[in-house]
Amino acid sequence: MNWVTKTFTSSIGRKIIMSLTGLFLCTFLVVHLIGNFQLFKNDDGLAFNVYSHFMGHNPVIRTIEWGLVLGFGFHIYEALMLTMRNKSARSHGYDQWEAKKNSEWTSRNMGILGSIILVFLIVHLYNFFWRARFGTLDPDINKNDDLYRLVVSSFHQWWYVALYVAAQASLGYHLWHGFRSGFQTLGLNHRKYMPLITNFGYAFAVLVSASFASMPLYFYFFTNDEGAIITSAPAVLQHLLVAFN
């Protein structure tokens, strides 16, 4: 093995890849989120569709997309490798194990949280990405693919909304630990700056996951089948009754 493979197959090397890909995926989340805020524009999805058209056709974005694929791929692959390594480091467990007294639940369950996110990701990609890229969506009045229509209809199915919210909760917990952890793995832990990084990470985790989760909830509770906002409270209730029936 040369030094490169040796570095990245070592336990710390794998963690460094986890950290770099994780932090890279955080930047993706920011971009994705900002774009998705177009959904809240009450314009029948025109702005959103402009944005999704841009994301689907801009050559720079299309190139970065491959980076994203690699980012997810490596993040998942290394997670598997590390989990296997970690499992094999203790084949005989404890009779009594009180880890909750010395560590946070999220930090110990990144694998489970990640797996939920992965399931979500597959559903999400199939439903939106796949159909947008390879399916045939009707055009909107600007001749952009009307992805917005698909969003609206998807977010009016309760199980779909539930999956989304659960996945975003998982993402929040995943980030709660993962953000700070990424810096720690890169050796960026300094007593002056670590509190800032940690608190920023917590805020990031909450804001990002809550914002993403707000989208399906918004459509489910506050829009009609066309995606138009229902403003009055009785209307909302009526809408919900219909939805649940």
Partner 1 sequence: MAGSNPNAKPMNLTLRVWRQPNHQASGQIVEYKVNEISPDMSFLEMLDVLNEDLLHKGQDPVAFDHDCREGICGSCALFINGRSHGPEKGTTTCQLHMRKFSDGETITIEPWRANAFPVNKDLSVDRSAFDRIIQAGGYVSVNTGGTPDGNEIPIPKDISDRAFEAATCIGCGACVAACKNASAMLFVSAKVSQLALLPQGQVEAQTRVENMVARMDIEGFGACSNIGSCAAECPVGISLENIAILNREFLTAKVVSNNMA
Binding footprint of partner 1 on the chain (CB under 8 A): 2-3, 6-7, 10-16, 82, 85-86, 88-99, 101-104, 107-108, 110, 177, 180-181, 184-191, 194
Least distance from partner 1 to the Cβ atom of residue 18, Å = 9
Cβ nearer to partner 1, comparing 143 with 191: 191
CA distances from 185 to 18, 22, 170, 178, 197 (A): 9, 11, 21, 10, 13
Structural contact between residues 212 and 50, judged by C-beta atoms closer than 8 angstroms: no
Residue with tokens 């990701």: 121
CB nearer to partner 1: pick between 183 and 212: 183
Q: CB nearer to partner 1: give 91 or 245.
A: 91
Q: Nearer to partner 1 by C-beta: 51 or 179?
A: 179
Residues 6+ away with beta carbon under 8 Å from 153:
225
Q: With respect to partner 1, which residue has the nearer C-beta, 179 or 220?
A: 179
Q: Measured from the CB of residue 80, what is the shortest distance to partner 1 in angstroms?
A: 12
Give CA separation, 134 vs 53, 125, 127, in Å: 13, 11, 11
Q: How far is the CB of 92 from partner 1 (least distance, A)?
A: 6
| Tokens representing residue 229 in the block | 């906002």
> Which are the contacts of 102, defined by CB distance < 8 A and separation ≥ 6?
none
CB of 169 to partner 1, least distance (A): 20
* CB 213, min distance to partner 1, A: 25
Rg for the chain (alpha carbons), in Å? 21
